[in-house]
Amino acid sequence: MIPVSGFEERTVAVLGLGRSGLSAARALREGGASVLVWDDNAGARETAEAEGFECRELARAGGFEGVDWLVVSPGIPHLYPAPNPVIAAAWVAGVPVDNDIGLFFRSLASAGSDWDMYDSPPRVVAVTGSNGKSTTSALIHHILHSTGRDSQLAGNIGRGVLDIDPPGDGGIVVLELSSYQTDLARALTPDVAVFTNLSPDHLDRHGGMGGYFAAKRRLFAEGGPDRCVIGVDEDEGLYLANQLSEAATDDRVIRVSSGTKLGGPGWLVYARKGFLTEWRKGRQVASIDLRSIKGLPGAHNHQNACAAYAACRALGVAPRQIEAAFLSFEGLPHRSQIVAEADGVTFVNDSKATNVDAAVKALQAFKNIRWICGGLMKEGGLSGLAPGLPNVTKAYVIGREAATFALGLPGVEAEICTDMATAVAKARAEAQPGDVVLLAPAAASFDQYDSFEKRGEDFAEKVRAGL
């Protein structure tokens, strides 16, 4: 645990008692704060009370009396589509609002009281973006661990950020950060910051695309990281890289791309035709063949590989060490995960493809696809799927909006299956050797499942049950 510093003998309220909320409450108490908590869920309050925390209904009159700070869990809206009543009450009371990520950055250095004695001070790598955050973060952690470095993975993946151990001499903390986390944190000071890409997502939460990008941009603008790894395949990435660099030769910014051969005198990492290439100061430094790496299939994973490679190079890891670690990376569950192979048919679980951009990248990674798709559709429609549809042999549509979803797939043979069991059974029965049965929903899961993980687990279970 990293005890939260700066709140000794002060009163801090915590709103939301899920994983990050309870973790923050414990770390605050460990650091000497007096902690009040609240969650609308009675069961969550009972759990907190069993640990000795006092519950207070913060939205009621006088709820913020004596409170110095409010810490909010990331899933709770603080501005759009409407402020949570507790957060609105904190504003009126003049109580600063923060989250566990802000607490982490303001407390990390004080948690390592022996840093002056370290040969190498600990460092933090923070990864954000629309798609690929989890794979990129996990891949960075895997590379560091494989090369003998002390690494911990936390944030939106792995452990809660305040649950990790204070890093030791030369230790590295790898954080995956969502826009919900970067938007509200009052301290953001990573040593290396990574921006993977940007596509429409969570627009209701951020008041549109501009607000969504602004939330991501805070990671780079607030703390001034020593090195920035920026995906430049979208205009927002090009803009961000330009804003952060002082000249074309400024190697504090590493530009990365998948599919585009980058040029110029700066520090560049790109993947093209299955090969990752690093250029620096106008000359090629290294090249890695990504085509045979089973844990990183497709152009979208090649983009993740470029971002992870660049971050690790910024930390001083040698290219051949990174290449060896790539070969042993097995990928993450629900992200282009091969769950079975039978009779020449490959079954792939990409349930994390909850938006159109992620789904089209999955579709472009394979050929002869029996595509299981559908769910709770997001803003923006399905027109962005067009580049991946030529690889689809047939679509098997699930979800409560299955009929509407199928209408958004022009030129694709689509069968309305509604539920996962029917879709898997039909796709398996019709698949031929060389086909890929791919779950890449292009939609959220909440019409039928509690999470994309549950949806992916159901797909894998149905596939394995039929073998």
Instruction: Tell whether residue 133 is among the known ligand binding residues.
Output: yes
For the stretch 27-32, contacts whose Cβ atoms lie closer than 8 Å and that sit 24 or more positions apart, written own/partner, are 27/1, 27/2, 27/3, 27/100, 27/103, 27/107, 27/162, 27/163, 28/4, 28/71, 28/103, 29/53, 30/1, 30/3, 30/4, 31/3, 31/4, 31/5, 31/6, 31/7, 31/107, 32/3, 32/7, 32/8
Nearest to 372 by CA among 338, 333, 419, 334: 419
Instruction: Tell whether residue 408 is among the known ligand binding residues.
Output: no
Instruction: Tell whether residue 132 is among the known ligand binding residues.
Output: yes
In whole angstroms, what is the distance from residue 44 CA to residue 38 CA? 9
In whole angstroms, what is the distance from residue 125 CA to residue 321 CA? 18
Q: Are 187 and 206 in contact (CB under 8 A)?
A: no
According to DSSP, residue 29 is labeled H
Return the SS3 of 98.
Answer: strand
Q: Are 112 and 122 in contact (CB under 8 A)?
A: yes
Instruction: Tell whether residue 94 is among the known ligand binding residues.
Output: no
- For 259-413, list the strands marked E by DSSP: 267-272, 275-280, 283-289, 337-342, 345-349, 369-373, 392-398
Query: The sheet that has 369-373: what strands, in order across it?
Result: 337-342, 345-349, 436-439, 369-373, 392-398, 414-418
Instruction: Tell whether residue 224 is among the known ligand binding residues.
Output: no
Instruction: State which H helix or E strand residue 43 sits in.
Output: helix 42-50
Instruction: State which H helix or E strand residue 358 sits in.
Output: helix 356-364
The string of DSSP codes covering 209-251 is HHHHHHHHHHHHHTT--SEEEEE-SSHHHHHHHHHH-SSTT-T
HSE, CB side, 13 Å, CA atoms: give it for residue 458: 20
Q: Are 336 and 350 in contact (CB under 8 A)?
A: yes
Instruction: Tell whether residue 129 is among the known ligand binding residues.
Output: yes
Instruction: Tell whether residue 304 is among the known ligand binding residues.
Output: no
The string of DSSP codes covering 150-186 is -EEEEESSSB-TTTSPPP-TT-EEEEE--HHHHHH-S
Residue type for position 81: P
Q: Are 24 and 31 in contact (CB under 8 A)?
A: no
Q: Compute how many other C-beta atoms are within 10 angstroms of the C-beta atom of residue 229.
A: 30
Residues of the binding site for ATP = 129-135
Residues of the binding site = 129-135
